[in-house]
Structure 1
Amino acid sequence: MTSQLFDSTHQQDPASLYVHIPFCKSRCFYCDFTTYVAPRSLVTAYVSYLKQEFELLARDTNKPLQTVFFGGGTPTYLSANELGQVFASLHQHFNLASDAEITVEANPGTVDAEKLVVLREYGVNRISFGAQTFDENLLMAIGRTHDKAAILSSVELALRHGFSRINLDLMFGLPEQTLDSVRQAVKQVVEMGVRHVSAYWLKVEPGTPFHKWQEQGLLPLPGEDSEADMYELVREMLSENGFVHYEVSNFATPGEEALHNLVYWHNEPYLAAGVGGHGYVRGRRYENVTALTDYARLLSAGMRPIADTHQVSAEESAEDTMMLGLRLREGVSAERFRQRHGASIQDVFFEQIQRLTGQGLIQEHSGTYRLTDRAWPIANVVFEEFVGALTVGAPTID
């Protein structure tokens, strides 16, 4: 059956763009992203090279962009003038849909009136603040440079400048974090009136200070049971206050879902720019170089700054559709799967569906496969069933 698989999206131009801005004031103790603490001269040079990449990248699509996401790092580490240059270049080289969702990540304390005016002028309509927690001691313990007051003032400033679509990132499972600390953070978010919340489990990554401290026995984490309780508390409190738990780590009031991230979870194509950016265009995943020197060298030579590419097979794409789609409350539609991949979910993943259904972790209703309520806290157990189910040993870069 797998020999009959295909992926219809591999013939489509992407209508989404991710832009990576790698600079931060300092590096958080848990962060393993491509980020740099760099002098302003490097930031200014990066803006120049990014504009060159936009010109090259725009050739990869003829579609108007429906979503654009600036992540990092800290995109708002750029000055107002630098932000203006980047967005002017974006509009120069790409056709943006009139109703495009344009999102910018920001750390609390890195936005001011001048920057917000520039962002609004160029159509940015969603800001995502990395709050992480409202506990002052925890903020210091994880290496954040802002305090609670900066979160409150940044959100208030954004609201005053017309940004109604605001996301706050929260983290749980932090060192010595308590259930009450999580409760207070969610209560604060609700009182602020934001309409979207991302709540992430701490994952200790190799190469980070947290990983080093964990190996030395110096990282007092709450433990799996406490972390599960924290996750359940977040789900319960946000649901009681009108938020829909629409993705494993994301909650929104109706109609406020993050459209750019839905592109990822629907396993759809997207462009990527900037050091360390990952894209997915016409069935090929690519990863940009992560070193600023390589980025500058390749673009100076008129070349795309790509470090690696991987052609996604029809089988691997079918696995991705299941793993990513099951992250969503909406689940995976059997009909859409058939139209996209040319076969039925039951035929392609019979064993996995039978096993997970028998374990009470997924359910089928009206032609759609979804996680059960009990599966949300242990969703990775479900996703792992599809990893290499059809493509054991196949490489991937994202």
Structure 2
Amino acid sequence: MKSAYFHIPFCAQICYYCDFNKVFFQGQPVDEYLQAMEREMKKTVEVFPAERLDTLFVGGGTPTVLEMKQLDFLLESIYKHFRFSKDEVEFTFEANPNELSKEKLQLLKAAGVNRLSFGVQTFHDSLLKTIGRTHRYGDVMRTISLAKEAGFDNISIDLMYGLPNQTLQQFQEDLEIAFSLDIQHISAYSLIIEPKTIFYNLWRKGTLPLPSEEEEAEMYEEAMRQMELHGYQQYEISNYARPGFQSRHNLTYWNNEEYYGIGAGAHSYVDGVRRVNIGPIKQYIAKVQETGLPYREVHRVTWMEQMEEEMFLGLRKTEGVSKRRFSEKFGRDMHDVFGAAIRAERQKGLLEETDTHVRLTRRGRLLGNEVFQAFLTGM
């Protein structure tokens, strides 16, 4: 185990598309929640002793909605229970562009946080309003400037396409502005309509004006083309980085490696077992106080499931799945297990094969979910 994820489920505003485990910040038992997280950390490393970690990721929700003392407590808790080298670890904090003051940035920097991931989504104020974001274009420019002044030199932003009423031209403008920021990493995701969101309810009523599938595909093609032109290498379906700045933490997931998950609704993968924590805040706190480990689901991953996950997670990477690594990990030749699926997807033009890897074609990246499904049926 070399990675740990910490979930802060509080938000100042609930975005209309978000289905992550989150609640409004106001009126919540935030201090009690952070104390419960600290207790879960302690119990977790007692039961599953920690190696020296290579990556830490604090996500949400909105971690930066926490007040200074609360941020300080969280960071102290992490240092208390996990071992890592400040000089070698990738320590990421997710942030909203309008919630990071100079003081918070200095606190994070002093605590060893060395990577920031900003939920920008778009630079168009009209679209930001449409999707329920509270920040505006000016907030992004100001906060990224402050982050650079504070010494952060590994900055990522999230962009979204396929938004209601979004045009290709608007997305092209978003990309141009992103490139002008001189940052190291950009994630570009298509909007997915998830149940239990405001957008899902509007979509069910037929009142959500989305771009067509063809327009969304054009936006994705444009992202791939422009990123390459501007020196950002696509290393995963939705992620692009300057050389040396790939998200090491997210590669943990795509490489099908194990990780700790701390906090309400967090997922973990430890000793071949996937666990899901209780989501509701008060229930999570109560369970931690009772047992220290707030699991809602526990599933031991079968050998076949591990091989399936190796394929559909690994195929998200542009380099694809290593044949040698598959064989070393499972003692089976990839083609002995998934030969029929590989051949079928190759015939469709969605997969290609080299001497060392199986990977999605450029067209396959547009239809990734269809390809992944082919590896969920086993042999």
* TM-score scaled by length of structure 2: 0.98
Matches within 5 A, 1:100-179: 100-179=89-168
Give the equivalent residue in structure 2 for 1:339: 328
Residue 33 (structure 1) aligned with residue 35 (structure 2): no
The residue identity in structure 2 corresponding to 1:94 is F
For residue 329 of structure 1, report the CA deviation from its aligned partner: 1.2
Amino acid at match of 1:202: L
Q: Whole-Å Cα distance in 1 between the matches of residues 27 and 90 of structure 2?
A: 29
Partner of residue 85 from structure 1, selected from 73, 87, 91: 73
Paired residue for 1:358, among 322, 332, 347?
Answer: 347
Matched, 1:16 2:7: no
Alignment of 1:165-204 (within 5 A): 165-204=154-193
State the aligned residue count.
377
Pick from 10, 18, 34: which aligns with 1:47?
A: 34
TM-superposed CA distance for 1:40, in Å, is 5.5
Runs of 4+ in 1 over 2 A off after TM superposition: 38-41
CA displacement 1:288-320 (0-9 Å, x = unmatched): 000111111112224311111111001000000
1:318-341: CA deviations, max 9, x gaps?
000000111101111111100001
Unaligned runs of 5+ in 2: none
Using the TM superposition, give the Cα deviation of residue 41 of structure 1 relative to its aligned residue in structure 2, in angstroms. Answer: 5.4
- Give CA deviations for 1:52-108 in whole Å, capped at 9, x if unaligned: 111112221331011010110000011121111111111111111340101000011
Describe the superposition over 1:224-278 as per-residue Cα deviations: whole angstroms up to 9, x where unpaired: 0000001111111111000101100000011100000000000000000000000
Query: Given that residues 15 and 61 in structure 1 are in contact (C-alpha distance below 8 angstroms), is that contact kept between their aligned partners in structure 2?
Result: no
RMSD: 1.0
In structure 2, distance between residues paired with 1:303 and 1:254 = 41
Give the counterpart letter for 1:188 in structure 2: I
Do the aligned partners of 2:255 and 2:314 also contact (CA within 8 Å) in 1? yes
Determine the C-alpha separation between the residues in 1 that align with 2:126 and 2:378.
44
TM-score (norm 1): 0.93
**Paired residue secondary structure (2:123):** coil
Q: Structure 1: 5+ residue runs without aligned partners?
A: 1-13, 391-398
Partner AA of 1:82 in structure 2: Q
User: Per the alignment, in what secondary structure is the counterpart of residue 301 of structure 1?
Assistant: helix
SS in structure 1 opposite 2:29?
helix
Q: Which residue number in structure 2 is paired with residue 5 of structure 1? A: none
* More RCO (CA 8 Å, sep 6+): 1
Find the residue that maps to 2:367 and give its secondary structure.
helix
Tell me the equivalent position of 1:69. Answer: 57
SS of the equivalent of 1:20 reads: strand
- Judged with a 3 Å threshold, the aligned counterparts in structure 2 of structure 1 residues 120 and 304 are, in CA distance, closer, same or farther, namely same
Identity %: 39
- Residues 39, 292 of structure 2: 8 Å contact kept: no
1:96 alignment partner, one of 74, 81, 84: 84
Contact 1:316/1:388 (8 A) holds in 2: no
Query: 1: CA distance between counterparts of 2:52 and 2:369?
Result: 34
Output one character per residue of 1:333-356: Cα deviation in whole Å (capped at 9) or x when no partner. 111100001101110101001111
In structure 2, relative to structure 1, the CA distance for the partners of 1:142 and 1:41 (3 Å cut) is: closer
Q: Partners of 1:113 and 1:264 in 2: how far apart?
A: 32
By how many angstroms is 1:51 displaced? 1.2
8 Å Cα contact 1:68-1:260 kept in structure 2? yes
